[in-house]
Every structure is written in structure tokens, then in C-alpha cells.
Copies of this chain bind each other. A is one copy, B any other.
Amino acid sequence: MFGFTYYTPTKVVFGRETEKEVGRLIREYGGSRVLVHYGGASALKSGLIDRVKQALDAEGLFHVELGGVVPNPHLGKVYEGIELAKENKIDILLAVGGGSVIDSSKAIAYALAEPEKDVWELFKKKRKAAGCFPVGSVLTISAAGSETSNSCVITNEKTGEKRSYNDNIARPRFAIMNPELTMTLPDYQTESGCTDIMMHTMERYFTQGGNMELTDEIAEGLLRTVMKYAEILHKDPKDYEARAEIMWAGSLAHNDLTGCGNDGGDFASHMLEHELGGMFDVTHGAGLAAVWPSWARYVYKDCMPRFVRFAEKVMGVANEGQGDDAIALEGIRRMEEFYHRIGMPVNMRELGINPTDDQIIAMADSAMDASGGKKGSAKVLHREDVINIYRMAL
């Protein structure tokens, strides 16, 4: 195994009605002037934004609000938030939403720490962040894990570039996680979230080295748990225990716990999906499901021991002497079956997009631009590999 740094300072407050504690937590982390950031109309209609504002008022906290964050959050909204925050001397960001809202808040928080500089430079890897204002969240979607992770993904809606920037200084100070707040999500969003959660762990699982038994045990247990409760939620979206299992899994899947000791992980599936998200604005988790089986079949022979272990420990494939190749492929096939059972696509056609070959080449070029010319651990992918996988995934 490799050495690692593990740093997850976010205070998680988990359970029913925990959003009532938001004012106290803002105070605990030294905030006094709050930008309440959120997405669409559902957070308003449900009354959540009002409840949050009441909790802030009860602590005598100044607050302004900015809604309208979209999935694959836009750089333009980040710039709007930066201006609003500066005008109002904001000292803490409160994201009420899922990964898109939290990431948009993180981007604003980076910008406020270096107000003279363009925050997009971080995502273009032109510089490193020197600071970040504090961020907290009231989570309403279990998926991205951004509520405890160091990652932030923003889409430049003018260029179509979807780019990430990861830095521990952006890890949120607190995360309020009430599973009840996720109960009204449409099933497609719930299951896309489950797919994203699993993929955050699978990206760390399919590697060439550095694996640690304890990390593997945690990863496999997490994947089994998410599969079990994703199916339950597909039938009963109001199941509190299932919502809670998925919500907590969403944080643990991406706070680095499931990658301790490894070589940094693969993350090629995320790279492949980011281009779909940038060009076609698909739902992130569904986009991952649409590319993963093709990625897996393209790379598995280069990472056979991991695919065999995955098939046996996660997908329940019995070793009856059929050989590694057959075991690995059966594991991939069962994952496709699982995706179908929860209403997820297994290719781009099922995802509802049909890129031309020119578009595939453009996506591959953009992916290589974002990744410095290569990506992956299970198998290191170059431009031709990326084109091949996109074509397989049509």
C-alpha cells in the first residue's frame, strides 16, 4: 500500500430535523453574514429555505439568498454569487441543496479569499488556491459527496468545459444531513445519486496497486449497502432507513475513506462522463452508468485481480472454476442488470444521447485537455482509448 493523508474535518450532524441546528452551527464556525445558496424551486416550495432562514434569524444572523443553481453548475452563477457576496460582506457560505449547490458555494468561497483573481483559473489548473471562505451545507440530494469532500466541479457554460478543482481547504465546516429532505426527489435523481455514490468508491477500487484490505472491506460493504437500499428506494422512496443509509454512504464514498492506501484511484469513468455532462447536460450519475460498462469491458484484462474480487465480493459471483475472465465479465454483466433494475442506462442510447463521431472526437480531445493527455489506473487511457470507449458506449 501507499502512504496517505486522511483529512475529513467536516462536522456531520445527521438525523431528523437537524436543519433546525443550522444557526447554531454557523455561529460555531464563526459566521455572522451568510449567503444562502440554493437551486431550483423545490427548496422554496417545500418550505426548507424558509425554515433555514428562520433558524438563521433565531441566531440573529444576517443573510442574503441566491437561488437558481442548475445541475452541472454554471460559472456564470458563481460570478453572480461572488458579486452578491462582496456587496453584502458575506463571511460564510451556506449551501442548501446537493452537489451542484455545494460546488457552486465552494467556488464562490475560493473567489472571496482571493478577490482580485479569476476563480476559473483554478479549474483550468493555472494556479492553486491560497485560501477559501468557510462553507457549510444543508444536504438535500445524496450523490456527489461534496458535503464532506475536497472536490468542486464547475461547468463553463460558454465553452462547454466541465472542470474540477480539488483542495482540502474547501472541505465544508459542517454538513447537516436529514434523510427526510431527500424523500421528494424524483426516482431518476435518487437512482442517479446512488450510481454516483457507488462510482466514487469504484473509481478508488479499480487500481493497479496500493490496495489495503481494510479499505477494500469498507468499499465492498459500502457498495453492497448502496445496491440493497437503491433497490428499496426504487420501490419505496419514503423509506427513512433506506434514505439514511444512502445519505451516509454518499459522504463516506467520497470523503477518501474508501481510497486509503491506494494509488489515487482511476477516475477515468468520471472523466468520460464529465464530457457528456459538458456537451449534453445529462444527469451525472446516469451518465456514469452509461459509460461504466464499456469502460469496464475495455480495461478489465489489465486489472484482472480487482475485477475478479469485485465480481465475487460485491456482485456475488460464485467461483466455480469458470476462470478469471468469465468471473470478471459476469461481474460487469450483473452491474448492468443492477443499473437496469434501478432505471439507469447502460449506454448512451439508453441515456438519450447519440453523439456523432465528430462529437466523440471533440469529447476525447476535451477529456485529454482536462487530464493532461492521459487518465486512469486500472488501465492508463490515452486519446485513442477514450475514443474507443465512447464508440463502445453508443
Residues of A within 8 A of B (CB): 1-9, 11-16, 18, 212-214, 217-218, 220-222, 224-225, 228-229, 241, 244-245, 248-249, 252, 257, 260-261
A5-B12, A7-B11 known; 7 new pairs, CB 8 Å cut-off, are: A3-B13, A4-B12, A4-B15, A212-B245, A214-B252, A217-B221, A220-B221
Tell me if A213 and B16 are in contact (CB < 8 A): no
Chain B CB count within 10 A is highest, among A7, A18, A222, for: A7
- Decide yes or no: A14 and B222 within 8 Å by CB, A214-B252, A248-B214 being known contacts: no
Residues of B within 8 A of A220 (CB): 221
- Decide yes or no: A1 and B218 within 8 Å by CB, A8-B8, A9-B9, A260-B14 being known contacts: no
Cβ contact of A214, chosen from B16, B217, B245, cutoff 8 A? B245
Bound complex: CA of A4 vs CA of B177, how far in Å? Answer: 10
- Decide yes or no: A7 and B14 within 8 Å by CB, A1-B241, A1-B244, A213-B228 being known contacts: no
- Decide yes or no: A11 and B5 within 8 Å by CB, A221-B214, A252-B214 being known contacts: yes
A4's nearest neighbour on chain B, judged by CB, is B14
Residues of B within 8 A of A222 (CB): 214, 217-218
A18's nearest neighbour on chain B, judged by CB, is B3
Bound complex: CA of A1 vs CA of B177, how far in Å? Answer: 14
CB-CB nearest 10 A-B residue pairs: A3-B15, A217-B221, A9-B9, A6-B12, A214-B225, A7-B11, A221-B221, A213-B225, A4-B14, A214-B245
A211's nearest neighbour on chain B, judged by CB, is B241
A sample of 20 inter-chain contacts (CB < 8 A) reads A1-B244, A3-B16, A3-B18, A4-B14, A5-B14, A6-B11, A7-B11, A7-B12, A8-B9, A9-B11, A212-B241, A212-B248, A213-B228, A214-B222, A214-B249, A217-B218, A217-B221, A218-B218, A218-B221, A248-B261
Bound complex: CA of A229 vs CA of B216, how far in Å? Answer: 14
Closest Cβ of chain B: how far from A106's Cβ, in Å? 18
Residues of B within 8 A of A228 (CB): 213
Closest Cβ of chain B: how far from A3's Cβ, in Å? 2
Residues of B within 8 A of A225 (CB): 213-214, 217
A247's nearest neighbour on chain B, judged by CB, is B214
Bound complex: CA of A2 vs CA of B179, how far in Å? Answer: 12
